[in-house]
Amino acid sequence: MKPIIAITTEAINLSRTDGRGAFCGTSYSQAIEAAGGALIMLPLTCNTSVLDELLAHCHGLLLPGGGDPAERYYRPALTDVERSKLSGVDEVRDEMEIHLVRKALDAQLPVLGICRGIQMMNLAMGGTLIPDIPTRLPKALAHANSNPEALAHKLQWERTSGLWDMLGHGCESVNSHHHQAVDKIAPGFEVAARAPDGVVEAMELDGAGFAVGVQFHPERLLRAEPKCLRLFELFVEACRRRQQKT
């Protein structure tokens, strides 16, 4: 039996009665399937008992990309300019992801965060975010590229990181489709890679079985940078080990 991996979703509104629902991009499910796992979508809810029950039947948690966290999650407080840059805010998703990250890590479930996902992992565990890269770091690279599948910049790996040993050899260039980023790293996490301008591109929880966040979109790079499939394989392998323990 394949390991079951829960993925959080973002809201979608269709032009019909009761058209509000939950959305998950097919690139995530395709990447997990290619790595040997099975993905299930979680509903958008702040009911923690429901979330806990669903997570109890899963072997890992995947946090995908999406909109920005709500204003109340930023420290220090946002400036008027930074506030105007927020988009795609969904406080239900914020609350459920923060709860799920803490619950999963407490239970030592494998966790993988992608783009928004790395940011929510960092927030949930006590870190902070750069709310808008061009505003805070005017000399930074252009991270919000219009083509999310194009290779945008190199990675500068921390050669002492576990992720470098598992993935860094051969994964040297990545895409970039974001305007926010990790700022102060949450306690217990370590930076695994940065962009040439210093923006955090990957982090990992020190001593954990598998708790990894990446700022780029590996699910969109399986053709341009096939090494990125290895990240999903490592994640699914960790989920399979968890499955075997239950």
What length does the chain have? 246
pLDDT digits (tens, 9 = 90+) for 153-195: 999 999 889 899 888 777 889 999 999 999 999 999 999 999 9
CA 115 to chain centre: 5
pLDDT at residue 166, as a whole number: 83
pLDDT at residue 223, as a whole number: 84
- Domain definitions of the chain by residue range: 4-245
Which pTM was predicted? 0.96
Find all residues with CB under 8 Å of 98, minimum gap 6, and list them. Answer: 120, 123, 124
CATH fold label, 4-245: Rossmann fold (3.40.50)
pLDDT at residue 208, as a whole number: 67
Q: What's the CA gap between 100 and 8, in Å, rounded?
A: 9
Which segments of the chain have a pLDDT < 70? 208
